[in-house]
């Protein structure tokens, strides 16, 4: 897991500048990365969240007011329905009392006939009776034997007469009465409608009919079901008149306070006796003792909205995750690109600096070598002459000690000459550009510098470059530097008693030469292999390594049109494989032409 992260972890996260001065990187990549992520996320997510919150509260408010409006509409509709239902029946009785004289109504058969007609037209009638001005029921048709009963003492009778006397208006409302619901003898809930009539002869009498409330309940429960609420009637005293879903049975006390009178439909929000959030709508039904109550549970009403809100929330969270992922990805990619470009720029700056340094060293060494060579040549000749004198003139020949001294002078001169010759060679190769190159020669020249170190450290060096390998055109100096770097690298990787092998062969299609430089050193762990040619990548921490050697090598090989690869096993050693084309084509050699020489 950790290895996986290491592999995909962007390089810039562990970027630290090893360069200083003018090459110091301009950017702090970690900060740049964090800033771009935070800024982009803020710019994208803040409006999104704001919109989401605003939309949430607006839609909630809209839904709530919509809920109130719908409840108002429902209550109004129900009231109209109930009013017209009751009016219809009042009108029907009114029609009978107007259409028939007292005598006709008092006729048993006639009344029975009328009752049957009434039932067939406006069903649910239970009985029908005629009450004269004394309050005595003079005619009755229905299941009970209650003819002759006197009602003059009953409340509804008094109220009807009282209403009639109060007003002097001949409106039906004033001459009719709808009773509360009661159980009566039959123990089934029903209500009674009474209509009073004054005939031209001055007689006043009442037509009284009782009505089952089932149909009324059906109207209300129909609304209940379709609106997921509770719709029922109570009377002015708060006694429940039709079945309620949640607030008690018929004839029981309504648990909430009876709402105050209002001529219009009223809707309000609040809590019921059990603490549930409810929307209550009510309307007084004119001309009756009834108040229509509609109660809706807010929870269940908001449920659908909350379900939709939940979906939106899922969508929001999904969007945020996607946005964060995309922003993270893009920022990482961009900063990584900038980081890589910056690294390349730094590397090329370093390479230019390196090339300049090499050129300076070349000029210096050529000058030194020349100045030393002339006096050296004189010492050489003088010492040579002394030796010749010993050899050719017999008189000096006996002194072996002097001969030894002269030999040692001559040997020292030869050693100096070797050094100046190498310096000159080096200087020449720094300056010379493309020329015919013998790879064997180049590698031998390089090893000449290094062979001493190999000897000290007991490192075996094996070179296998066939003499028949063709010469080819290339930049000798760069080639030499490539091998110097690789050999140095190999020596750095090996302990005492290591082994360095350099082998060359023609490649399979004969267009290039493949050279392997194999050491028996410590090897490179896989996670470092892919970074080994990166500028400033070094494992020689604390030993002054700049991490530039292999990256310059890589640059040089590329410049002379070749390629370099690496194979390594930790503990077993590392092999660099360089392929050089026989046909020279500079990759970007001209980029450095101006800085060399």
Partner 1 sequence: MRVLLVDDEEELVATLAERLDMRGIEAAWATDYRTALAMVEEKEFDIALLDVRLPEMNGLDLKRLIEARRPGMKFIFLTGHGSEEDFEACSAESGREYYLIKPVQIEVLVAKLNEICQGQGGRG
Listed ranges 91-99, 307-315, 380-388, 520-528: which one lies at the site for partner 1 (CB under 8 A): 380-388
Q: How far is the CB of 426 from partner 1 (least distance, A)?
A: 10
**For residues 104 and 110, is the Cβ–Cβ distance under 8 A?**
yes
CA–CA distance, 106 with 130 (Å, rounded to integer): 7
**For residues 223 and 82, is the Cβ–Cβ distance under 8 A?**
no
Note whether 369 binds partner 1 by CB under 8 A.
yes
Q: How far is the CB of 453 from partner 1 (least distance, A)?
A: 24
Binds partner 1 (CB under 8 A): choice among 14, 414, 462, 583:
414
Residue 362 or residue 547: which is nearer to partner 1 going by CB? 362
Listed ranges 216-224, 294-302, 394-402, 410-418: which one lies at the site for partner 1 (CB under 8 A): 410-418
Binds partner 1 (CB under 8 A): choice among 80, 370, 436, 457:
370
CA–CA distance, 197 with 98 (Å, rounded to integer): 8
How far are the Cα atoms of 112, 378, 382, 402, 405 from residue 390, in angstroms, in the given order?
175, 18, 13, 9, 12
Note whether 434 binds partner 1 by CB under 8 A.
no
**For residues 83 and 285, is the Cβ–Cβ distance under 8 A?**
yes
CA-based nearest residue to 390, from 375, 401, 376: 401
Residue 231 or residue 383: which is nearer to partner 1 going by CB? 383
Note whether 421 binds partner 1 by CB under 8 A.
yes
Residue 304 or residue 418: which is nearer to partner 1 going by CB? 418
Note whether 442 binds partner 1 by CB under 8 A.
no
Residue 93 or residue 355: which is nearer to partner 1 going by CB? 355
Kind of pairing between the strands at 460-464 and 499-506: parallel
Note whether 297 binds partner 1 by CB under 8 A.
no
Residue 92 or residue 437: which is nearer to partner 1 going by CB? 437
Listed ranges 176-184, 337-345, 367-375, 442-450: which one lies at the site for partner 1 (CB under 8 A): 367-375
Q: How far is the CB of 380 from partner 1 (least distance, A)?
A: 4
Count of C-beta atoms within a 10 Å radius of residue 107: 16
Listed ranges 125-133, 235-243, 254-262, 384-392: which one lies at the site for partner 1 (CB under 8 A): 384-392
Residue 160 or residue 376: which is nearer to partner 1 going by CB? 376
CA-based nearest residue to 516, from 462, 561, 597: 462
DSSP state of 239: B
CA–CA distance, 180 with 259 (Å, rounded to integer): 17
Note whether 444 binds partner 1 by CB under 8 A.
no
Q: How far is the CB of 424 from partner 1 (least distance, A)?
A: 3
DSSP H helices, 474-548, are 476-493, 526-529
Listed ranges 126-134, 239-247, 378-386, 545-553: which one lies at the site for partner 1 (CB under 8 A): 378-386
CA–CA distance, 462 with 503 (Å, rounded to integer): 8
CA angle (498 as vertex; 495, 499 as ends), nearest 5 = 150
Tabulate helix, strand, coil % of the chain (nearest 5). 55, 20, 25
Binds partner 1 (CB under 8 A): choice among 427, 459, 482, 490:
427
**For residues 311 and 327, is the Cβ–Cβ distance under 8 A?**
no
CA–CA distance, 175 with 197 (Å, rounded to integer): 7
Listed ranges 176-184, 192-200, 383-391, 395-403: which one lies at the site for partner 1 (CB under 8 A): 383-391
Q: How far is the CB of 515 from partner 1 (least distance, A)?
A: 25
Listed ranges 47-55, 324-332, 363-371, 395-403: which one lies at the site for partner 1 (CB under 8 A): 363-371
Q: How far is the CB of 411 from partner 1 (least distance, A)?
A: 11
Q: SS3 for 531? A: coil
Structure-token pair, residue 397: 């020949």
Structure-token pair, residue 568: 């390594």
Note whether 419 binds partner 1 by CB under 8 A.
no
Note whether 313 binds partner 1 by CB under 8 A.
no
Binds partner 1 (CB under 8 A): choice among 379, 514, 566, 586:
379
Note whether 413 binds partner 1 by CB under 8 A.
yes
Q: How far is the CB of 443 from partner 1 (least distance, A)?
A: 20
Q: How far is the CB of 17 from partner 1 (least distance, A)?
A: 38
Note whether 438 binds partner 1 by CB under 8 A.
no
188: left (phi over 0), alpha (psi -120 to 50) or beta: beta
Binds partner 1 (CB under 8 A): choice among 432, 492, 566, 582:
432
Structure-token pair, residue 486: 């690789």
Q: How far is the CB of 374 from partner 1 (least distance, A)?
A: 5
Strand pairing partners for 131?
137, 206
Q: 193 CB contacts (<8 Å, ≥6 apart)?
A: 86, 89, 90, 93, 176, 177, 178, 179, 208, 209, 210, 211
Q: SS3 for 85? A: helix
Residue 32 or residue 424: which is nearer to partner 1 going by CB? 424
Q: How far is the CB of 377 from partner 1 (least distance, A)?
A: 4
Residue 378 or residue 460: which is nearer to partner 1 going by CB? 378
Helix axes 439-456, 400-431, angle to 10 degrees: 130
Tokens 């084309």, located at residue: 581
Q: How far is the CB of 391 from partner 1 (least distance, A)?
A: 8
Kind of pairing between the strands at 512-519 and 125-131: unpaired
Interacting residues toward partner 1 by CB under 8 A: 366, 369-371, 373-374, 376-382, 384-385, 388, 391-392, 413-414, 417, 420-421, 424-425, 427-428, 431-432
């Amino acid at each position: 897991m950790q290895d996986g992260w290491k592999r995909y972890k962007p390089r810039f996260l562990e970027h630290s500048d090893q360069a200083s001065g003018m090459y110091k990187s301009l950017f702090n990549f970690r900060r740049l990365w964090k800033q771009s992520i935070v800024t982009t996320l803020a710019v994208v997510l803040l409006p999104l969240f704001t919109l989401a919150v605003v939309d949430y509260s607006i839609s909630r408010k809209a839904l709530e007011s919509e809920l109130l409006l719908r409840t108002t509409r429902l209550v109004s509709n129900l009231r109209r329905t109930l009013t017209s239902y009751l009016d219809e029946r009042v009108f029907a009785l009114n029609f009978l009392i107007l259409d028939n004289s007292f005598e006709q109504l008092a006729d048993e058969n006639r009344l029975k006939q009328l009752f049957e007609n009434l039932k067939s037209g406006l069903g649910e009638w239970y009985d029908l009776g005629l009450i004269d001005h004394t309050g005595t029921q003079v005619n009755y048709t229905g299941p009970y034997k209650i003819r002759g009963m006197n009602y003059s003492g009953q409340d509804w009778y008094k109220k009807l007469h009282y209403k009639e006397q109060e007003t002097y208006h001949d409106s039906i409302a004033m001459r009719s009465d709808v009773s509360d619901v009661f159980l009566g003898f039959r123990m089934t809930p029903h209500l009674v409608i009474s209509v009073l009539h004054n005939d031209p002869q001055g007689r006043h009498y009442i037509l009284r009919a009782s009505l089952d409330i089932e149909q009324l309940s059906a109207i209300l429960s129909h609304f209940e079901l379709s609106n997921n609420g509770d719709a029922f009637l109570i009377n002015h005293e708060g006694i429940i008149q039709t079945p309620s879903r949640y607030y008690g049975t018929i004839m029981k006390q309504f648990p909430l306070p009876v709402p105050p009178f209002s001529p219009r439909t009223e809707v309000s929000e609040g809590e019921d006796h059990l603490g549930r959030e409810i929307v209550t709508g009510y309307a007084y039904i004119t001309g009756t003792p009834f108040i229509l109550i509609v109660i809706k549970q807010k929870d269940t009403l908001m449920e659908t909205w909350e379900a939709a809100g939940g979906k939106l929330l899922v969508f929001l969270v999904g969007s945020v995750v996607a946005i964060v992922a995309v922003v993270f990805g893009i920022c990482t990619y961009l900063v990584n690109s900038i980081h890589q470009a910056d690294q390349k720029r730094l590397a090329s700056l370093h390479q230019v600096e390196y090339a300049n340094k090499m050129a300076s060293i070349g000029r210096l060494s050529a000058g030194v070598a020349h100045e030393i060579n002339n006096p050296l040549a004189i010492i050489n000749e003088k010492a040579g002459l002394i030796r010749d004198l010993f050899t050719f003139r017999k008189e000096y020949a006996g002194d072996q000690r002097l001969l030894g001294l002269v030999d040692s002078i001559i040997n020292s001169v030869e050693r100096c000459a070797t050094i100046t010759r190498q310096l000159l060679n080096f200087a020449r190769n720094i300056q010379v550009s493309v020329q015919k190159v013998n790879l064997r020669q180049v590698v031998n020249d390089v090893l000449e510098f290094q062979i001493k170190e190999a000897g000290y450290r007991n490192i075996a060096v094996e070179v296998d470059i066939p003499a028949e390998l063709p010469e080819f055109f290339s930049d000798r100096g760069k080639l030499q530097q490539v091998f110097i770097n690789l050999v140095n690298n190999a020596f750095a990787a090996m302990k005492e008693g290591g082994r360095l092998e350099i082998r060359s062969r023609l490649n399979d299609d004969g267009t290039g030469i493949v050279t392997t430089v194999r050491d028996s050193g410590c090897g490179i762990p896989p996670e470092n292999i892919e970074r080994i040619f990166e500028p400033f990548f070094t494992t020689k921490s604390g030993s002054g390594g700049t991490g530039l050697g292999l990256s310059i090598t890589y640059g040089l090989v590329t410049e002379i049109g070749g390629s370099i690869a690496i194979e390594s096993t930790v503990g077993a050693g590392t092999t660099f494989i360089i392929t050089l084309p026989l046909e020279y084509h500079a990759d970007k050699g001209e980029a450095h032409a101006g800085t060399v020489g």
